[in-house]
């Protein structure tokens, strides 16, 4: 799917009919998926939304993204770490987000851990990106000569997955 997002990001007029109504979703997917996240707040948002997405479609989460931002103090993990049980109960009544107690409590708990990690590592991003392999540890990119394309090979799978 990611390849499809990249392919149609440059020329949305070439997107297949079944994706025509999903241009905003494609734009957000490309923006969120292509560039590494180094801002702590955006990183915490991404981690939190990943948790909410579990068992659901990304379109469900992305459609409610602004509501999540309002509900979770713009994903400022220092503020979310201060949420109380009353805040969890309030969020369980918010129709603009996914109202799952376990997922809401996980975001609050993760915010508390994020505060600790940021204090220890200098930032949340520093903690996550420190395990990024260095240039000498990464396999060389595959090329057409090492991975010849097989036109049409994935077309059937793509059609099945997009029904």
Do residue 105 and residue 126 come from a single domain? yes
Q: Are 97 and 67 in contact (CB under 8 A)?
A: yes
Residue 102 has pLDDT above 80, yes or no: yes
pTM (2 d.p.): 0.68
Q: Is residue 155 part of a domain?
A: no
Higher pLDDT, 11 or 127: 127
Q: Is residue 102 part of a domain?
A: yes
Do residue 47 and residue 7 come from a single domain? no
**Considering its fold, how many domains does the chain have in total?**
2
Q: Is 133 helix (H, G, I), strand (E, B) or coil?
A: coil
Do residue 48 and residue 115 come from a single domain? yes
The helix, strand and coil proportions of the chain, stated in percent and rounded to the nearest 5, come to 65, 0, 35
Q: Confidence band (pLDDT; 50, 70, 90) for 129?
A: confident
Do residue 8 and residue 73 come from a single domain? no
Give the model confidence (pLDDT) of 10-47 as tens digits: 444 555 555 555 666 556 655 665 567 889 999 999 99
Q: Domain holding 86: CATH number?
A: 1.10.340.30
Q: Is residue 10 part of a domain?
A: yes
Enclosing domain of residue 97: 37-130
């Amino acid at each position: 799917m990611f390849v499809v997002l990249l392919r149609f990001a440059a020329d949305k007029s070439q997107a297949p009919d079944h994706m025509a109504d999903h241009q905003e979703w494609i734009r957000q997917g490309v923006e969120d998926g292509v560039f590494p996240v180094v801002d702590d707040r955006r990183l915490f948002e991404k981690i939190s939304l990943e948790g909410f997405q579990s068992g659901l479609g990304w379109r469900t989460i992305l459609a409610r993204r602004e509501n999540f931002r309002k509900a979770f103090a713009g994903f400022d993990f220092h503020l979310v770490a201060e949420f109380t049980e009353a805040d969890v109960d309030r969020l369980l009544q918010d129709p603009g987000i996914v109202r799952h107690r376990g997922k809401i409590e996980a975001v609050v708990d993760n915010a508390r851990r994020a505060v600790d990690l940021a204090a220890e590592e200098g930032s949340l991003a520093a903690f996550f990106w420190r395990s990024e392999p260095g240039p000498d540890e990464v396999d060389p990119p595959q090329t057409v000569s090492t991975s010849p394309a097989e036109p049409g090979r994935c077309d059937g799978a793509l059609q099945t997955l997009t029904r």
